[in-house]
Each structure stands twice: as C-alpha cells, then as structure tokens.
Structure 1
C-alpha cells in the first residue's frame, strides 16, 4: 500500500512539473495595441578581441599593427521584419555609437509593436534628407555642437561623418606632433556635386532567433561589429597607403568594407 501511494505521489509530481514547465514555455499572446522597447546592443571588437581604446594593439589583414583612439559611427533608419513579412520602420531616429561612451552602445527603439521579428535593417550614416534639413530639425546626436571636441560633422562639406576611425600605427607617417597617426573619416551622401559619391550603406541581417516583443517582453539584439573589416573586405585597405581620408570621393572603398562588419550574435528575449 505504501509503495502504491508513493508511486501515485511520484506520478502527481511528474505531471505537475510537466504542466508547470509547459506553462513557462508558453509565449505571451500578441495584443493588438501592445508595444514595448527593443534594445540594440553594439559590441565593437577587433577580430575576437574586445575593442579597447588607446591601450591595445591589433593587426589588420596586411599584418600592420594599429591602436585605436576613436571609433564612432551613426546608425539610422532602422527597420524590423516580422515573421509574416511585415516591415516596421523607425524613421527619424538617429543613434551615434561611440566606443568612448558606454551608454551610447545600447540605443533603444521605443514603442515597437508586439510581434515576432526575424530580420533587422539599418543605415550606417545619416540620410540625405536629414543632412540637408533645417538646423532646427537636427537635434540630439545630430546637433553638431553636441560632440565637444569629438566632431562628427563637416562644416565645409555640410554633411555628417558617418564613421570616424582614428588611431596610431607604426606604418603611418608622423604628423606635426611626431605621432604616427591615421584618420579615416567616412561621409558623403551624394548629390551635392557631380563628383560627390553616396557613401551611405544599408545593412540587413537575419536574426539567429526571433526577437519576441510583447507587452511584458523587451528584447535585446546583440550586434557584433568587427573593426578589422574596415581594412579587410571587398577592398584591401593598407594603412601604409591609406592613412588620411577626409574626402567623400576617397571614402567609398572603406564604406564598401564596413558595410559587412556587423553580425547578430544572439537575441535576448526578456
């Protein structure tokens, strides 16, 4: 009798555990008007190494050593594709990712409609419409006076620097202060003159697992950006030959490279 009672108790416990586990695995239903935030976490690296400013030496595909002092880029025009193919766009949201400022590495998309998202698209840079808009409309990270000494705007070219990558390298020529430095400033949205190229680049990435946005779930998409791909991509960039870029017409090969520096590492649905 005791053995029979113990067996029944075991069965009851097993069923209770199974039902509880299944209940926990159930995904919250999508409410028609439900929204929540979605965080984009940018993790800048050099190959497999975490990016550290001014303290660590890295190598590019040409075997050239370099140290990074500045690494900034604009992200804008984010769009998310749902599992049913619906695309949700987030216009007029601009984010400046600055390696020197940790709080900029996790920008937040607000009021994302509840749903299951399988793909993300974004622009590296600032679109032409916003770049030529009235200065009163360019606020937040687009306010050219908000960067301090870390300027991300070309006053002479009336346009934003989409990506600023600066550092030192033994193969770079010495500047007036005797420092062997490089500066790669990429911009140019095209159309200003007949010879100004469009260096805006669009990135589209599939998510390894769906980002589940619900009323009580605010996911995070963890994106890794590998700075070595600035040098090593469809174009081979050597710091000994290309170490000072401040003009849009010289920047296109680099823009073609860094378009492919991003991957989605994983998604947090919590």
Structure 2
C-alpha cells in the first residue's frame, strides 16, 4: 500500500506549523525596561466601611463619639514601586497634596515608569526635611507656600508643612473648649535639627503597602492602583484618640500619636491592568 503526499499538503502543514510557533512566540510576555508607561494611584478616603462625605454626621470612633469631618488633607511624597524581583523604582522630588474637597487631587499619576511587574508600593506621608528647608523658589506646585488659600497647609510661624490636617465637629467636644464643638488636628514636624537643647520632633511616616495583584506596566498597559484610606484609623489606630480630651492639636510633640495612627490607614484595595 502506497501513501501519496501531495506537494500542496506538505506546504499547508509547514505553514500551519510556522503559524503555531509564531503565535506561541507572540504570547510570551517579554518585559523591556526601556519601554515605559504611566501608573495612576487613586486615594479613596473612607471612614470605616463608608465613603467619606464631608459634613456628614454619621461617623463614630472607638470611644463611641459621633463626629463629622469638614477637612481632610495630606501630603504624599517619596513614592517608590518595588518589582517582584526586588528592585525598586523611585520617583524623587514629586510631592502631592490629596484633598477630600478636591476629587482631582485624589488621583496621582507617575510618568515614565519602566515596564515590569510591581508587587509593593511605598510612600511618605508628609514633606521630608531636605525639601522643607530648601529655597522657596524650589518649592513649587503642591509645595508653593503662597498658593494654599484656605487650606493653610503651611505653618508660617513654625516654618514647616502640615503633613496631615483633619478637622470637623463632634458633640463630644466640650462646649467650654469650643462653642461650636469643633476639633482640629494638624500634624507636622520634619525633625532633622535641634530646637535649643531638644531634638526637633519627626512626625514623617513611611507607608509600605503590598499589592496582591501586581501592577504590570507594559507599553500597552498603564496600571491603576486603588487605595482605601480609612480616616477612622486616625482615631482608632494603635493610639486611641478621644475627641472629648484631644480636640486641638497643633504642636508636633502632641501630634506624634496621631502620626503613628495614620501610618496604618492605607491599604491597596485592587489594581487595574487593563490594556490600552
């Protein structure tokens, strides 16, 4: 019995084989660090399991004290992204002011991020000492000391930035302390020096958050990292804050327990790696 193979059949088989090999090659995820894209970071401010809405008197802290927030602002700086292989990509000299009253400020965009699989993010809450003491001409954008208006995120009397500002009202605040039963907590203090015989307080805090779903930067993928920021942690963190007794904080030394609390208020909820 003879089996005959036609020329056309052989050519067809070869073409099909080449096509399969080509498809497999195209499916390989080749990471080229020279190829860059952007990464956006969204800060969704919340109070426990509720979205934060300014002026809403629907929140309670661990002490059972009801409160409403009228202001929540904080600086984010010194961002870095860590790849799954352990290498770190830093984004120096970039400072952002997140304001609950301004939705646009709640999304930060990092440009020219090298391709890679990023599994962890770190950032500082506040403005580092080097930048805080740099010439005013070098402090532009979010750090422009003349451009805050009613936000007032700079202490002219203390020559330093307010890293986090939280203000509101609560019936727990004694009327003898504030007729309007309002509270204000302003956290600052970048350390790095001495005030007389005492070292200046350092309330800068670095936050590191893992990403269960990696941010996969590619030429056609610009990841979006979505963070939940739980403002309730400012009161309910490692240091329990009662508004009845702690309702006016403006000095760095008194603000340290609050800084320790808000260090824990950030977590990555999800990551979008949608192709463009």
Calculate the TM-score normalised by the size of structure 2. Answer: 0.86
Q: Is the 1:173–1:181 contact (alpha carbons within 8 Å) kept by the matching residues of 2? A: no
What CA RMSD, in Å, does the superposition of the two structures yield over aligned residues?
1.8
Following superposition, the deviation at residue 26 of structure 1 comes to 4.8
Q: Is the 1:195–1:249 contact (alpha carbons within 8 Å) kept by the matching residues of 2? A: no
After superposition, the C-alpha distances for 1:140-173 in whole angstroms (9 at most, x for unaligned) are: 0000121111110001111100000000000113
In structure 2, the partner of 1:197 is 201
In structure 1, the partner of 2:120 is 119
Following superposition, the deviation at residue 192 of structure 1 comes to 4.4
Alpha-carbon distance in structure 2 between the residues aligned to 1:56 and 1:173:
17
Q: 1:177 to 1:47 in 2, by over 3 A?
A: closer
Within 5 Å, give how 1:50-199 maps onto structure 2.
Answer: 50-174=51-175, 178-190=179-191, 191-193=193-195, 194-199=198-203
In structure 2, the partner of 1:220 is 224
Q: Is the 1:78–1:91 contact (alpha carbons within 8 Å) kept by the matching residues of 2? A: yes
The answer to whether residue 258 in structure 2 is matched with residue 254 in structure 1 is yes
Q: Is the 1:79–1:120 contact (alpha carbons within 8 Å) kept by the matching residues of 2? A: yes
2:244 to 240, 244, 252: 240
More deviation, 196-205/172-181: 172-181
Alpha-carbon distance in structure 1 between the residues aligned to 2:33 and 2:59:
49
Alpha-carbon distance in structure 1 between the residues aligned to 2:216 and 2:28:
9
Following superposition, the deviation at residue 232 of structure 1 comes to 1.0
Q: 1:200 to 1:177 in 2, by over 3 A?
A: closer
Matched residue of 1:209: which SS?
strand
In structure 2, the partner of 1:34 is 35
Give the ranges of 4+ consecutive aligned residues of structure 1 lying more than 2 Å apart after TM superposition. Answer: 25-29, 173-178
Q: Is the 2:57–2:66 contact (alpha carbons within 8 Å) kept by the matching residues of 1? A: no
Matched residue of 1:149: which SS?
helix
Alpha-carbon distance in structure 1 between the residues aligned to 2:266 and 2:161:
21
More deviation, 191-200/39-48: 191-200
Following superposition, the deviation at residue 255 of structure 1 comes to 0.4
Alpha-carbon distance in structure 1 between the residues aligned to 2:106 and 2:28:
29
Greater C-alpha Rg: 2
Following superposition, the deviation at residue 260 of structure 1 comes to 0.3
Q: 1:176 to 1:251 in 2, by over 3 A?
A: closer
Q: 1:27 to 1:164 in 2, by over 3 A?
A: farther
Structure 1 unaligned blocks of 5 or more? 1-18
Q: Is the 1:175–1:181 contact (alpha carbons within 8 Å) kept by the matching residues of 2? A: no
Matched residue of 2:142: which SS?
helix
